[in-house]
Amino acid sequence: MIPDDSYDVLIIGSGAAGLSLALQLPPGFRCGVLSKAHMNAGSTFWAQGGMAAVLHDRDSVTAHADDTFNAGAGLCHAPAVEFCTSQSRSVVDWLIAQGVEFDYRSDQPDDEFREFHLTMEGGHSHRRIIHAADRTGRAISDVLTQNAAAADNIALLPDCYAVDLIRQDGRCVGAYVLDSENSTVHTVASRAVVLATGGASKAYLYTSNPDGASGDGIAIAWRAGCRVANLEFNQFHPTCLYHPEAKSFLITEALRGEGARLLLPDGEQFMTRFDRRGELAPRDIVARAIDHEMKRLGLDCVYLDISHRDRSFLRSHFPTIFDRCLALGIDISSDRIPVVPAAHYTCGGVVVDQHGATDLPGLYVVGETACTGLHGANRMASNSLLECFVYAASAAQHIAASELPPAINLAQWDDSRVRVSDEGVIIPYHWQALRRLMWDYVGIVRSDRRLEFAATAIELMQTEIANYYSQFRITRPLLELRNLAEVAGLTVSCALSRKESRGLHFNRDYPETHETPKDSILIPHNQPPFQGPNPTQLPEYKFTDSPQL
């Protein structure tokens, strides 16, 4: 239910980025936070592994930055990497002040000088993953949601789906919002709008993401005239549980950080044939290695083995995984875990600057929806939560310091010329067809022929979806399909423009990597001309100040 039709800041998305931004706005800013389902429905709640942070003198910000550069396959932007990695300690301090309880080392005295328990993940040169057992996202999400609900200036708005942004005089001035409870579209004015809707991994048939990861923010911003970049870099997590009853269940990379080995059915350990780092190579390398072995041998899955670790250690450090697997008849202290790669993270997104500001004045984008330049061609494990908090703080500071115009009266949504659908079968048909198409043709290994076929098929789907959208009353499934098809088309366009293999994008027709890295930037053609300094490059960072967490 939407209690007001006007806010100072309208935040679309209730994950780590959206909630932390809301909590860091000055109390005088009236803020509405939309979630298209319940408030914990996003990807943050399900994040298992943790957050990368430099927290002891055996590590350094320089080492964290170097690891991020190496994982990003030459496409990371130095200012973004330096900006983000330098803030990790302050992010942890802010989260602790909010009430998040991270794990400490159990072998030290229970006093104020205890060190955090840090885990190791792929691509990192040090143990630097701070966590709360294997349910870090849930610990963070619960605390932030509770604090936001208690704030007088924040309204939490579940079951509200953003349809599109409203532009007026070259500025974002609000959004049309579907109230799913009563199937009514509201017109909501706002002095600033923030998109924090997560990624688009639901475009793939197999994914670790919850159902809501349908690329909404990316599609909405594109339709409003914002550039998008690097959408060809879809990260496939190497290890999702392979079981008919285990929909989207992730087996955290921290398990491999604690010594889990990837095995073929005959027990052969294969990762060292692909990379000297073995199981702790970056995710793109591990996922391609598993994909290669599955296709070479005709396997349904490979296996992850952590049975050499003590049962009590596994129960205490990985309780969620231990219990979930046990419920499915897999005792990870003695049994091998069947795993397959699955779409996990969208490394590209809406082009933003260091404050999360987009090409459209009044519109900010944070979290997985944004392309900041941090991840390059492959996100390093556990940098995503860190990015959410750093850029949310920077955006909140920028919004608070800006002279925002007052909210204005806007035209109401007009649905007088549409009717209730009598052709609902179209939506699930295209939903399944699109996700199968993306998995088969725009997956871990690609070719120009596959990509061109996908582009043609998606264009036909988009035409039929647009016809359906113009005739019938909108619903959440229709909006998700519309957005997912939009982002799928943009992904294929980015992939076709990259005539090389780099990071997460591997094209059999172009197996080599170019010496000079270049971003894949798409500019909307149906919007006013881009007014920025260089439409084919990401914005330069100014470093006027650091976010105050």
How many other CB atoms are found less than 10 A from the CB of residue 540?
13
Dihedral, 142, 102, 194, 236 alpha carbons, nearest 10: -100
The Cα 464–Cα 459 span in angstroms is 9
Q: What are phi and psi of 521, to 5 degrees?
A: -115, 130
The Cα 105–Cα 224 span in angstroms is 48
The Cα 140–Cα 131 span in angstroms is 10
Model-level pTM?
A: 0.91
The Cα 11–Cα 543 span in angstroms is 25
Sequence-ordered list of residues with C-beta below 8 angstroms from that of 306, at least 6 positions apart, any chain: 255, 258, 259, 260, 261, 314, 332, 333, 337
Sequence-ordered list of residues with C-beta below 8 angstroms from that of 544, at least 6 positions apart, any chain: none
DSSP 3-state assignment of 155?
strand
In order of their start, the domains of the chain are: 6-233+347-401 (3.50.50.60), 237-343 (3.90.700.10), 426-511 (1.20.58.100)
The Cα 338–Cα 336 span in angstroms is 7
What residues are annotated to the active site?
Answer: 283
Q: Tokens 């088969």, residue?
A: 440
Which tokens sit at 79? 């200012």
Q: Tokens 């990192």, residue?
A: 124
| Residue 187 β-bridge partners | 176
Helices vs. strands in the chain: H and E counts, helices first:
14, 18
Which tokens sit at 468? 């359906």
Sequence-ordered list of residues with C-beta below 8 angstroms from that of 202, at least 6 positions apart, any chain: 209, 211, 212, 213, 214, 215, 343, 435, 480, 484
> Nearest to residue 170, comparing CAs of 533, 534, 532, 528?
528
The Cα 283–Cα 235 span in angstroms is 7
Cβ–Cβ < 8 Å for 364, 338: no
Task: Classify residue 445 by its DSSP letter.
Answer: S
Cβ–Cβ < 8 Å for 462, 223: no
Sequence-ordered list of residues with C-beta below 8 angstroms from that of 273, at least 6 positions apart, any chain: 289
Cβ–Cβ < 8 Å for 182, 189: no
The Cα 519–Cα 76 span in angstroms is 10
How many other CB atoms are found less than 10 A from the CB of residue 263?
17
> How far apart, in Å, are the Cα atoms of 263 and each of 236, 288, 295, 314, 342?
18, 15, 15, 19, 18
> Nearest to residue 8, comparing CAs of 168, 192, 235?
192
The Cα 372–Cα 84 span in angstroms is 10
Say what the pLDDT of residue 126 is.
Answer: 93
Beta pairing, strands 154-157 & 31-34: parallel
Which tokens sit at 536? 């084919």
Half-sphere exposure of 190 (CA within 13 A, CB side): 32
Q: For the chain (length 549 residues), average pLDDT per consecutive 10?
A: 83 96 97 90 78 94 96 96 96 96 79 79 91 89 96 96 95 95 93 97 90 94 96 94 86 91 97 94 89 92 96 93 96 96 95 96 98 96 95 98 92 90 90 94 95 98 96 94 98 98 96 96 77 80 71
> How far apart, in Å, are the Cα atoms of 179 and each of 130, 162, 276?
37, 9, 52
Say what the pLDDT of residue 163 is.
Answer: 97
